[in-house]
Structure formats: structure tokens, C-alpha cells
Amino acid sequence: MIRHIVFFTATDPADLPRIREGLEMLGQIPHASHFEVGQNLHADRLTGTEVDLVVYAEFSDDAALAAYKADPIYEEAIRRVRPLREMRIAADIKAD
């Protein structure tokens, strides 16, 4: 299984609802076995990095993740979210 975790920061906090809406589109892509978008609770103030939203998804294998990223909905979500976000950090990890 692959866990796909992506952190987002809004350029303008007023755009958070629009960013979340764009990210939630990704849940329509059928290749994830689990998908969610959540707002960061801002519980860790030690790093100084304020993450606003987190995308968390699980995929059965590399092929499922690649199919997810190749879906037209993925491209549309990027088109909507990219202009509104300041930071994006993504990580994919293999889980046992």
C-alpha cells in the first residue's frame, strides 16, 4: 500500500474554502482505496510552518497512484488550486 500525503498553505486564508473544494474533487477519482481532505488543527507551533489543508489518500500500488495522477480530474484540481496556494509539499510512503 502507498500512502499519499500532501500539505497545502493558502496564499490568502479567505481562499481556503475554494482550495478545499478543489482538493475534494480528487475524491471523485476511483483509484484510491481511501481519500480525505482535512483542515490542519495547527497544533504544532514549533516549526513555524503553517499548513492549512492536508490531503491523505491510500493506493494499493504504484500503478493505482499513477492512474490517479493521470486522471483528468487531477489536472482540473491542479488548475483550480495552484493559483490559490502558497505552498505544496507531497510525500508518498510505502506501508506494510
What b/e readout covers 57-66, taking b as 16+ CB neighbours within 10 angstroms? bbbeeeebbe
- What average pLDDT is seen over the chain? 94
What is d(CA 91, CA 6) in angstroms, rounded to the nearest whole number? 6
- Answer with the residue of higher pLDDT: 47 or 65: 65
Rounded Cα distance between 63 and 19, Å, is 27
What is the per-residue pLDDT for 47?
63
Beta carbons of 5 and 55 less than 8 angstroms apart: yes
Residue 85 confidence class, pLDDT cut points 50, 70, 90: very high
Q: Where in 11-84 does DSSP place strands (E)?
A: 34-39, 53-59
Average pLDDT over residues 16-43: 95
- Kindly report the CATH number assigned to the domain that includes residue 61: 3.30.70.100
Number of domains in the chain: 1
Domain that holds residue 62: 2-94
Q: Is the pLDDT of residue 41 over 90?
A: no
Mean pLDDT of 27-37: 97
